[in-house]
Amino acid sequence: MPNEQNNHPADQENIDLLLLAERFLQFLKRFGKLFAAALLLGLTAGFLFFKLTPKTYKARLVLHSSLLSNPEQIQIVEGWNQLLKEQDYKTLSAQFNCPKELLTHLKQLKAKEIQQVFTPNNPNGFTVDVFVSDNQVLPALQQAIITGFENNEYAKERLAVKRSGFEQLITKTEAEIAKLDSTKGIIENLLRGNSRSASQLIVDGSSINRQIIEMNEKLLGFKENLKFTKAVQLLKSFSPSKKTAGPGMKTWMAIGALTFLCLAWIAATLFSVNQKLKERKSERRHR
């Protein structure tokens, strides 16, 4: 008797599970056509939504700045994105120095540091991600973004000061090189005409040659610094991608199928519950 009592709850549980599975299968059979139709409609809706929704494409710039820190540059990009959200194309086109029509293809701007570690000399670059409706605008948009960084008032002032300083250094260095070249020519003429002071002049001549080489190296460095004195340096240009930025066709079809199946399940459940309630009311009346 104790064994029979102990086995009874387990048997009852198995029976309940079998009944539940049986009712579930009956439910599926009863509304099978509804679920099949919902699945077909969901797949079709997802496919149409993918085809009719405007496509956006993502592209990335990799930049570096020696004028402003990465967080400051990122704040500038966030300000541009806010203007874009407000569809203030007039203000943004003035900052970018580009036609308003170009900005209608731009949907979003994002920026982040390549490596989020603060250092005083700011060695790490930052990225600018754009989402556009047409990849053909990327070259013009790239130039517009770089112009936008250069049009920042603070960056303009610092650029002007830096460029002016390098230009002055270049002018002075070129003048010093010209003087050294002139001195070297005089020494060479003296060497040809007076051999008595040759030993002393040879020493002076070699010293001048060394100074000329050093000054030319400095001149090249100043010219290189002037060339790369910009608000941002472009490390990687936009690369057009054929892949859309949003979910793909299969994803949208899956979303559509799940959505319609859920709606069909809710409708079938409500219909089944409502029918059960009607049956119970009918039974009570007959009693």
Question: Using 50, 70 and 90 to split pLDDT, how confident is the model at 269?
Answer: confident
pLDDT mean over 22-46: 85
How far apart are the C-alpha atoms of 109 and 173, rounded to whole Å? 43
How far apart are the C-alpha atoms of 154 and 106, rounded to whole Å? 26
Question: Using 50, 70 and 90 to split pLDDT, how confident is the model at 205?
Answer: low
pLDDT value of residue 90 = 92
pLDDT at 1 over 50: no
Question: Using 50, 70 and 90 to split pLDDT, how confident is the model at 13?
Answer: low
Would you tell me how many other CB atoms lie within 10 Å of the CB of residue 233? 14
pLDDT at 82 over 90: yes
pLDDT at 268 over 90: no
Judged by average pLDDT, the poorest of 17-26, 39-48, 159-168, 207-216 is: 17-26
- The β-bridge relationship of strands 233-236 and 106-113 is unpaired
Instruction: Name the pTM for this structure.
Output: 0.60
Query: Any alpha helices (H) in the chain, and if so which ranges?
Result: 2-30, 32-52, 70-85, 89-96, 100-103, 138-150, 153-193, 198-227, 249-286
pLDDT at 219 over 60: yes
How far apart are the C-alpha atoms of 29 and 24, rounded to whole Å? 9
pLDDT at 177 over 50: yes
Top mean-pLDDT range of 17-26, 99-108, 181-190, 237-246? 99-108
Question: Using 50, 70 and 90 to split pLDDT, how confident is the model at 206?
Answer: low
**124: left (phi > 0), else alpha (psi -120 to 50), else beta?**
beta
